[in-house]
Amino acid sequence: MSAAGEGGADAPAIGFDGVSMVYANGTEALTDVSLSVRRGEFVSLVGPSGCGKSTLLRLAAGFEQASAGSVRTDGAALGYVFQDATLLPWRSVRRNVELPGRLGGLSAERSRERAADAIRRVGLEGFEDHRPAQLSGGMRMRVSIARALTLQPKLFLFDEPFGALDEMTRERLNEEVASLFVSDPFAGLFVTHSVPESVFMSTRVVVLSGRPGRVVDDIGVPFGYPRPPELRYSAEFAAVAAKVSAALRRTGDPAEEGVAV
C-alpha cells in the first residue's frame, strides 16, 4: 500500500516505511525497507545487481505501487534521470528540454525560459540547436539532467545516470550534479554501482542486501560541499569508501563482484 503527497512542513521529501515489493510474476524485489530523505540530503543507494535499487526509485516516483508498507512524498516536484538519456532523436536540445514544461501545461514562453535556464545550468549553452546524435554521451546526459531541472524538482531521482560514461566524464558530471545540489538543495536519491561515486556525491550511502533488498547499512559521509575533485584521493575519503565496501561485502552476494571499488 502506498500514499503519496502527505506530511507537514518538516516531512521528508520521500519516506519509505516497511516497504516490500513483490512483482506480479512473484519476484520479491524488496523487503521491509525503511528510509527517508529530506531536502539537503543526497543519498546514494548501492547494493548487488538486482537487489531492487531501481524498484525503490520507481516506487518513489509512483510508477509502481508497494506490495506492503508505505511510500510517502511531500508532494513537491520530482525529477527523474534514467540510465539512458532517453532523448527524442528528432528534436533539438532546446526542444527536448522544453518538453516536460509543455507536457506539464506551461506556456511556450515559460517552457522556453525554463529550458534556457536549465541548459545554462548544465553548461550546454551554444548547443541548443544540436540534435542528440551530434552530442557526446556526457552531453546527452547533461541534456537529460537539464530536462529534469525544468521541473524545478525538490526530489531528484537518479537511476545510475553515469554508468555508461568514461571515468573522466563521469567525475566531471559528479562534480556538476553536486554543484546543482549546492546551488538549490533538493532531496537526492542516487543509484550507483560505484563506491567512489557514492561517497563523492552523497551525504549518506545506503547499502542494500542482495534480493530481496533490505537496508543493511546507512553510512554518513562527513564532508561538506562543494567537494574538490582531489577529495577522492584523500585518506579520509578512502576510509569512508572502505566502510561502504565492507558493508557491500557483508551482503555476501556474488553479484557484488560487479561493484566497482
Residue numbers at the binding site for ligand ATP (CB under 6 A): 23, 25, 27, 29, 49-55, 211
Distance, in Å, from the CA atom of 51 to the CA atom of 53, rounded to the nearest integer, reads: 6
Closer Cβ to ligand ATP, 86 or 152, answer by number = 86
Sign of CA dihedral 159, 164, 170, 176: negative
CB of 163 to ligand ATP, least distance (A): 9
Return the residue matching grid coordinates 549546492. Answer: 182
How close are the terminal C-alpha atoms of the chain, in Å? 36
Closer Cβ to ligand ATP, 74 or 160, answer by number = 160
User: Environment class of residue 152 by beta-carbon count within 10 Å: exposed (0-12), middle (13-18) or buried (19+)?
Assistant: middle
Closer Cβ to ligand ATP, 16 or 237, answer by number = 16
CB of 208 to ligand ATP, least distance (A): 7
Q: How many CA atoms lie within 13 A of 170 on its CB side?
A: 17
Provide the grid cell at 151. Answer: 521541473
Closer Cβ to ligand ATP, 82 or 223, answer by number = 82
CB of 54 to ligand ATP, least distance (A): 3
Distance, in Å, from the CA atom of 144 to the CA atom of 227, rounded to the nearest integer, reads: 23
Closer Cβ to ligand ATP, 139 or 157, answer by number = 157
